[in-house]
Amino acid sequence: MENIEHKHVEVKGLKLHVAEIGCGPKVVVFLHGFPEIWYTWRHQMIAVANKGYRAIAFDFRGYGLSDQPLEPEKATFQDLIDDVVGLLDSLAINKAFLVGKDFGALPAYLIAAVHPERVLGVVTLCLPYILPGTNSIRNDLLPEGFYVARWQVPGRAEADFGRFDVKSVIRNIYTLFSRSEIPIANENQEIMDLFDPSTPLPSWFTEEDLSVYASLYEKSGFRYALQIPYRRFSVDIGISDPKVNAPALLIMGEKDYCMKFPGMEDYIRSGTLKSLVPDLDIIFLEDGCHFVHEQLPHLANQLIITFLDKHSTTA
C-alpha cells in the first residue's frame, strides 16, 4: 500500500483524487461503486501492477478526496463518462482497460459504447451492463422498503444516516450488503435499522479498512453519493447505440443480493445481456457476495489478470 502514489488531477474544472501504482503502456483504470472509494481496489491495484500494468483508481467527483460539483442534484451518469475520458486525456493515455464495480460498471460499459477507441476491454463485478433510464431498476416490482427506493426519496437517507457517525454508516452498509438478501425495510423501519449491532464485520473487511473508508467519507459526506447512483439512475442520457463491441468480462457472486433483483438472473443467464455485449464472458463465483473483489481478492485478481493478459496481446 505504501507504494501507491496519490495526486489530484484537474478534469472539467474539478480536482479528482487519483491513486496510482505501476508503470508502462498497459493501463487499467478502476471505477468504484458505493459505499466504496478508490481504496476498494487496493488488492487489485497491487496485483495488476505486479504483472506489469499501470493501475489507476480515482474517487469519482463528489466522493472521498475529489472535489464536489457545484450542483450535485443535477448530476447524471454522463458526468462520470466525461470524467473518465477527461482523466485519460489529462494523463495522456490513449486507451485503457476499464474495471468497474457496482455502479462503476455503468460508466465502464458506457464509455466502451460511446468512446470505443479509448477502451481495450471492460471488466465489471457485481453488476452487468444496465442503461440509465426509467426501467434500469424496477422499484415497482419490490416492496416499498427496498433500499434503492428509500434512498431515492430526497431527505430520507440523509435523516437515516444522520442518526449515526460516518464510520457506523459504512459499517452498517458493508455488513448488510455483504449478505445474500436484498436489504428491504419494514414500513416502520429505515434501512440502517436492519443492522444488528452485535453483527461483526465480514471476516475479509478489517477495522483498519473501515477506518480508511470512514476517513474518506467524512471528507465528502453522502450528498453526491445519493444522487449518483441512486436518485439519478432513472435519467436517460440519450445513448442511441448502446452496443459494446469491446471484449468484456462479468464476474458475479452467486450470493450477491443483486442476483435477486427482479429479472436480473434471467437477464444475465438467458443471453439477453450478450445482445448488448457480444464479446462477453460471464463467470459466477459460488461463494461470492456483493463485494467479491474484497471478499475473494486472490480469485478476483486471477480472473482479471487472465482477461487483461489475453486482450493485451490482441490489442
Non-local CB neighbours of 15 within 8 Å, separated by 6+ positions: 8, 9, 66, 67
CB 255 within 8 A of CB 287: yes
CA nearest to 233, candidates 146, 122, 143, 125? 146
SS3 136: coil
CB 48 within 8 A of CB 22: yes
CA nearest to 29, candidates 139, 110, 121? 121
Would you please indicate which residues are annotated as catalytic (active-site) residues? 102, 230, 290
CA nearest to 63, candidates 211, 217, 291? 217
